[in-house]
Amino acid sequence: MDFKQVFGERIKAINRELELSISSIENDRLRDAMLHYPKAGGKRLRPIVTMLVADAISKSGNTAMPFGIALEMVHNFTLVHDDVMDQDETRRGLKTVHKAYGMPEAILAGDALFAKAFEIVGGMDIDGDRKSQLTSLLARAVILLAEGQQMDMDFEKLEKVASEQYMKMIERKTAVLYSAAAQGGAITAGAPEPLQEDMFEFGRLMGLAFQIWDDVLDLRADEKLLGKPVGSDIRNGKKTLIMIYAIETLEEKKVERLLQILGKKNAIDAEVNEAISLLDDAGAIDRAERIASEMIAKAKMLLDDLPGNEDRKLLKELTDFMIKRDM
Amino acid sequence: MDFKQVFGERIKAINRELELSISSIENDRLRDAMLHYPKAGGKRLRPIVTMLVADAISKSGNTAMPFGIALEMVHNFTLVHDDVMDQDETRRGLKTVHKAYGMPEAILAGDALFAKAFEIVGGMDIDGDRKSQLTSLLARAVILLAEGQQMDMDFEKLEKVASEQYMKMIERKTAVLYSAAAQGGAITAGAPEPLQEDMFEFGRLMGLAFQIWDDVLDLRADEKLLGKPVGSDIRNGKKTLIMIYAIETLEEKKVERLLQILGKKNAIDAEVNEAISLLDDAGAIDRAERIASEMIAKAKMLLDDLPGNEDRKLLKELTDFMIKRDM
């Protein structure tokens, strides 16, 4: 699938609405800080999922778009706040919001993006009951995002993290916005509850696969496409599913060596490559790819509950794209 | 009015629901950080306003309580984030959340309190249209809060702030949660739109008076009751309505002397007292008291639109209390 060609028009429409919504902020500094990440572009995967699900069910993609934009706002708000928490200075080559505008401004811009998300849902062209359902879905998603982020921070202090704990964490930190995207599309489209639940599960699997694929890309991708050095998860000592599995299964000596390199901020490329070889010895990267593929296959099966139209076909292609993308 | 005696039972019920709602958070650290301020107590003025308005209109105070609690959550979330932005280490004798739990935890706890507020509205026992109205009211309030906080931060960098700018700032930063409290009570109670708007205006005036009275108290209150040193606004160089008026009206020499003391973090008590004398020379403190009183009088007139029952009587007493409280 040529992502840009297929979704280019939708992305343009999403970006237009996204920026328009933020432009109503009065204070220049606050508005600029809020626009910093949204203006840098992005694939807008979450709004696209919302729109495709709503289109597939009842051709209501445009009605559902604001909910997708609300999710994009929430996604951006968490990026802004996460960057403050992690004290990161750049994101995909761009200065982080707190580096460009100051820490207080970044906290505030995040809060205002969050509030805007709910304002957008309030302005949707649907009945009050559906709006209220979407609001609750959005609120629940952010609570889980916060739980996931706190788990992630807790993990940094732990020596060992179990695979199940990791999966629980990424379910909250990453998958939750995809499950909300798909379920939100179904709610807007007036789908019956069982279909809403299937779409939630579809989004959950898609989001999990997305994150696991992200971890794979960090080790295998082209540095230029990735926008950051290959193996940054190794240098940062991130306990991804890949690392956890390798630590659980490699022989003691190799684990020792791997742990020497993991988290070594100034590790040279040869060391990072050595760590990647050890992960390969454990078959950990291949295994992660396999797990992501299986999730994508299951997610696509759930899409068979949707009417068999062109939108469903596109949604299946998008689902496949999640583990084919190279950045 | 004996505040505790009249509202003690309501405050207990509000606190119970407030803590119960937060207790559903899974992660221990996140939950504890979220509970830090709510557990320290407070007058719960905003939920009480919501409940009294709803009771006065249609005896629906208990139905409206969750909206009041949502406002209390939002109020607490802004306290947590504001303390991070201002890098304050204590709040009313208590360690600030970021001091007690760390900066990342404080940002996250604030975000989660904010999300909880919307979840609570979603669970209210009213129809979808009203829920949606309340959600929009809440979202709008937080956007204005962020605008107000940014204005406040902008002011710190300005040498001169006009009175109108100050009023606009406190309307956003303080009054907005009172106007939302009163209007939210009216919406829950099913009030017609003109009455909703009057309640919004009532809350706005009440909130403005509350803030101006706060500025007066900082200069006139008993240190022990206040929970912080008298004149802390002077040491922090805060441009309150009182300071702005004195600077605008005093003779040049006195303004010079006042500006020497304003913002002097380590000013001794004698200097603070000298500044207070200068403010008194300008009649600035008395004037602020008068302005607050006039607002309270106007606010009470708006309450005459409500049915003439016991709840309205209580609401009038509470309105008077706003400028009679000593902390």
The pLDDT of residue B227 is: 67
Instruction: Inspect the interface and report whether the beta carbons of A118 and B132 lie closer than 8 Å.
Output: no
pLDDT bracket for residue A92 (50, 70, 90)? confident
Element (DSSP H or E) covering residue A218: helix A193-220
SS3 B86: helix
Q: Could you give the CA distance from residue A289 to residue A284 in angstroms, rounded to a whole number? A: 9
Instruction: Inspect the interface and report whether the beta carbons of A81 and B26 lie closer than 8 Å.
Output: no
Whether chain A has a CB inside 8 Å of the CB on B121: the answer is yes
Give the CA angle between residues A124, A129, A132 to the nearest 5°.
70
The pLDDT of residue B158 is: 87
Q: Which residue type occupies B215?
A: D
Residue in A86, A136, A143 nearest the CB of B112: A143
Q: Assess contact for A96 and A153: CB atoms under 8 A.
A: no
The pLDDT of residue B160 is: 87
Q: Which residue type occupies B305?
A: D
The pLDDT of residue A113 is: 98
* Residues of chain B contacting residue A112, judged by C-beta atoms under 8 Å apart: 142-143, 146-147
Mean pLDDT, residues A280-289 taken together: 96
Q: How far is A54 from chain B, CA to nearest CA, in Å?
A: 21
Select the CATH number that applies to the domain covering A3-321 from these four: 1.10.600.10, 1.10.3720.10, 3.40.50.300, 3.40.605.10. 1.10.600.10
The pLDDT of residue A225 is: 66
* Residues of chain B contacting residue A121, judged by C-beta atoms under 8 Å apart: 135
Q: Could you give the CA distance from residue B21 to residue B68 in angstroms, rounded to a whole number? A: 13
* Residues of chain A contacting residue B97, judged by C-beta atoms under 8 Å apart: none
Cβ neighbourhood burial of B192 (10 Å; 0-12, 13-18, 19+): exposed
Whether chain A has a CB inside 8 Å of the CB on B123: the answer is yes
Instruction: Inspect the interface and report whether the beta carbons of B115 and A139 lie closer than 8 Å.
Output: yes
pLDDT bracket for residue A156 (50, 70, 90)? confident
Instruction: Inspect the interface and report whether the beta carbons of B132 and A122 lie closer than 8 Å.
Output: yes
The pLDDT of residue A224 is: 66
* Residues of chain B contacting residue A109, judged by C-beta atoms under 8 Å apart: 146
The structure tokens listed for B64 are 């409206």
Q: Which residue type occupies A81?
A: H
Minimum CA–CA partner of B150 in chain A = A30
Enumerate residue ranges in chain B where pLDDT < 50.
none
The pLDDT of residue A227 is: 67
In DSSP notation, A158-175 reads -S---HHHHHHHHIIIII
Q: What is the number of other CB atoms lying within 10 angstroms of the CB of residue A76?
A: 26
Q: Could you give the CA distance from residue B137 to residue B183 in angstroms, rounded to a whole number? A: 9
CA B315 vs. chain centroid, Å, equals 17
Q: What is the number of other CB atoms lying within 10 angstroms of the CB of residue A271?
A: 17
The candidate with the shortest Cα–Cα distance to B28, out of A168, A145, A151, is A151
Whether chain B has a CB inside 8 Å of the CB on A192: the answer is no
Q: Which of residues 146-165 of A touch B (CB under 8 A)?
A: 146-147, 149-151, 153-154
The pLDDT of residue A93 is: 87
The pLDDT of residue B325 is: 81
Q: What is the pLDDT of residues B31-85, one digit of tens each?
A: 999 999 999 999 999 999 999 999 999 999 999 999 999 999 999 999 999 999 9
The pLDDT of residue A71 is: 98
> Pairing between strand B90-91 and A94-95?
unpaired
Q: Assess contact for B178 and B315: CB atoms under 8 A.
A: no
* Residues of chain B contacting residue A25, judged by C-beta atoms under 8 Å apart: 143, 147
pLDDT bracket for residue A2 (50, 70, 90)? confident
Q: What is the pLDDT of residues A226-275, one digit of tens each?
A: 666 788 899 988 889 999 999 999 999 999 999 999 999 999 999 999 99
Whether chain B has a CB inside 8 Å of the CB on A100: the answer is no
Name beta bridge partners: B243: none
Q: Which of residues 64-83 of B touch A (CB under 8 A)?
A: 77, 81
Each as own residue / partner, the long-range contacts of residues B302-305 (CB below 8 Å, 24 or more positions apart, any chain) are B302/B198, B302/B199, B302/B201, B302/B202, B302/B205, B303/B202, B305/B195, B305/B198
The pLDDT of residue B225 is: 66
Residue in B112, B129, B142 nearest the CB of A111: B142
HSE of B107 in the Cβ direction (CA atoms, 13 Å)? 28
Q: Which of B136, B157, B173, B188 to mutate to test the interface with A (most CBs of A within 10 A)?
A: B136
Minimum CA–CA partner of B104 in chain A = A85
Q: Could you give the CA distance from residue A70 to residue B135 in angstroms, rounded to a whole number? A: 14
Q: What is the pLDDT of residues A257-271, one digit of tens each?
A: 999 999 999 999 999
| Mean pLDDT rounded to a whole number for chain A | 95
